[in-house]
Amino acid sequence: MEQSNFIRTIIKEDLETGKRDKVITRFPPEPNGYLHIGHAKSIIINFGLADDFNGKTHLRFDDTNPLKEDQEYVDAIKEDVKWLGYDWEELRFASNYFDEMYERAVLLIKKGKAYVDDLSQEEIREYRGTLTEPGKESPYRNRSVEENLDLFERMRNGEFENGSKVLRAKIDMSSPNLNLRDPVIYRISHATHHNTGDTWCIYPMYAFAHPLEDAIEDVTHSLCTTEFEDQRPLYNWIVEECEMESKPQQIEFGRLNITNTVMSKRKLKQLVDEKIVDGWDDPRMPTISGLRRKGFTPGAIREFVQETGVSKGSGAVDEAMLEHYVREDLKLTSPRTMGILRPLKVVITNYPEDQSELLDAENNPENEEMGTRKIPFSREIYVEQDDFMENPPKKYFRLFPDNEVRLKHAYFIKCNDVIKDEEGNVIELHCTYDIETKSGSGFTGRKVKGTLHWVDAKSAIPAEFRLYEPLVLDEQMAEDDSEEKDFLDHINPNSLEIVQGFIEPNMKDVKPHDKFQFFRHGYFNVDPKYSTSEKPVFNRIVSLKSSFKI
């Protein structure tokens, strides 16, 4: 990340003043879901800053909650980080530090800084008080060190039920910062962990585990999002009181949110579990795997995230900005081609029945290096249904009775007859072509206003096109993470439209993730999940037009 930002400034100063002699950052996902584009911001910041200062970055799985975590997520997260273009110096698992965390908790007990509490979760919440009301001390707060050591060991040995006891840090029940009112640091959970199996039945809470993980790994700058700002005093308390040698510094930056989407693993998981989408990699999801399947490129995602910048603020960014960057990225690299999404047959009645020809077409007018191809043309072609109107309004320049249009890379054709079925639906057009008007012939005899794309009917390959709209119709949804606002009420019923059409025959060997610009329709990616050798499926990445201006 080249731009300067407040975190870079802090790191630079730390190095210049000798406060630090190296930079170690970490990206610490919890393996309880797939990564989303918000995580991409964290990845880019952590790996980017370390890289700029010749430091290193750990990929650390923050796997302290056995109930929600799974190997599937570990694998997916690794794949996504790599795909974004980053590689970690070291792969770490927080669960590998369970022994040390336990020892540090025992140290706190010995120092009189932690106690075993028998209050229920509910009671602990009540006793905690509010911003305007001081908390109340638990009746178990003044247990002796010996009793606490004994109870904590027995918690570890599995003598107690889930929820019957917790270990709490003994800090200050009247602190104005609620996080310091004796936070819970260990809970009982008789659950099998994806890494440590049944070794443990007590697990550290995030607020306790995270600072220890950072310190154990000698992380210098622990970068997280602003919702952890209030936790910073607790973070520092834990590093201090647990007598960690290394003293990482927590620095917060603003979350990335995008309009018309939700961006929390909990909500994304709900969409998957309730089958509102077709898995974590559904192209409508803001997950890295969803964006990849839709056809977004790592470069476009990186450019986008960098452009949104690093600050404390976290307004929702317009999704159009992300689309802008993928268009920019694909403009010069993806071949242009023609595809018909909703076919209407056109018979060119003056073109000989047994004849066909190959026409020249450039692959990318903005990038000559991409060369040219030959496309077949014969008596029957397909055009788009909505490129014809029997009774057109003014300024409609496409096909209508007696009107002439240009076929891209081919000839002018004129519509003479409209063929209908019994119900009056238009099923075919009869046109004539003018051999003089061949594309590239230099013909200047007359002009037409409309240019249509088309495919040769005999040789075209059937294809499926999947067109997407935002999954959630609420601009502020991503920002409002509150429970009250049920995002399921805002799901867009038209977020996926599937249409069956045709593509040029020279596309018969397309492979998953090949990207094209279909003339007039936008950029598409070959879907890796549903494409078959007979019929490719194309996900529309983005249409051609943009309302977004940089």
Name the one range near ligand ATP by CB under 6 A: 34-42, 88-96, 192-200, 336-344: 34-42
Q: What is the DSSP letter of 5?
A: -
Per the residue annotation, which of 113, 128, 170, 265 is the catalytic one? 265
Q: How far apart are CA 474 and CA 276, in angstroms?
A: 17
| Sequence-ordered list of residues with C-beta below 8 angstroms from that of 522, at least 6 positions apart, any chain | 540, 541, 542, 543, 544
Shortest gap between Cβ of 255 and ligand ATP (angstroms)? 4
- The residue (of 30 and 307) whose beta carbon lies closer to Mg ion is 30
**Residue 255 within binding range of ligand ATP, rule CB under 6 A:** yes
Residue from the set 10, 30, 178, 406 that interacts with ligand ATP by CB under 6 A: 30
Shortest gap between Cβ of 264 and Mg ion (angstroms)? 6
Shortest gap between Cβ of 64 and Mg ion (angstroms)? 10
Establish whether 255 is a catalytic residue.
yes
Establish whether 336 is a catalytic residue.
no
Smallest Cα–Cα separation from 410: which of 441, 369, 373?
441
Cα separation of the two ends of the chain: 19
- The residue (of 257 and 437) whose beta carbon lies closer to ligand ATP is 257
Segment 480-499, which members bind ligand ATP (CB under 6 A)? Answer: none
**Residue 226 within binding range of ligand ATP, rule CB under 6 A:** no
Cβ-contact 339, 504 below 8 angstroms: yes
Shortest gap between Cβ of 515 and ligand ATP (angstroms)? 26
Smallest Cα–Cα separation from 222: which of 54, 31, 55, 34?
55
The type of residue at 269 is K
Q: How many residues bind ligand ATP (CB under 6 A)?
A: 15
Per the residue annotation, which of 20, 92, 255, 540 is the catalytic one? 255
- The residue (of 138 and 308) whose beta carbon lies closer to ligand ATP is 308
For 176-230, the DSSP string reads SSGGGS--EEEEE----BTTTBTS-SEEE-HHHHHHHHHHHTT-SEEEEEGGGGG
**Residue 256 within binding range of ligand ATP, rule CB under 6 A:** yes
Segment 18-47, which members bind Mg ion (CB under 5 A)? Answer: 30
Judging by beta carbons within 10 Å of its beta carbon (0-12, 13-18, 19+), is residue 78 exposed, middle or buried? middle
Phi and psi, residue 525, nearest 5° = -125, 140
Establish whether 265 is a catalytic residue.
yes
- The residue (of 120 and 311) whose beta carbon lies closer to ligand ATP is 311
Indicate the pairing of strand 461-468 with strand 537-542. Answer: parallel
Segment 39-68, which members bind ligand ATP (CB under 6 A)? Answer: 39, 41-42
**Residue 225 within binding range of ligand ATP, rule CB under 6 A:** yes
Which residues are known catalytic residues? 30, 255, 265
> What residues make contact with ligand ATP under the rule CB under 6 A?
28-30, 38-39, 41-42, 224-225, 255-256, 263-266
> What residues make contact with Mg ion under the rule CB under 5 A?
30
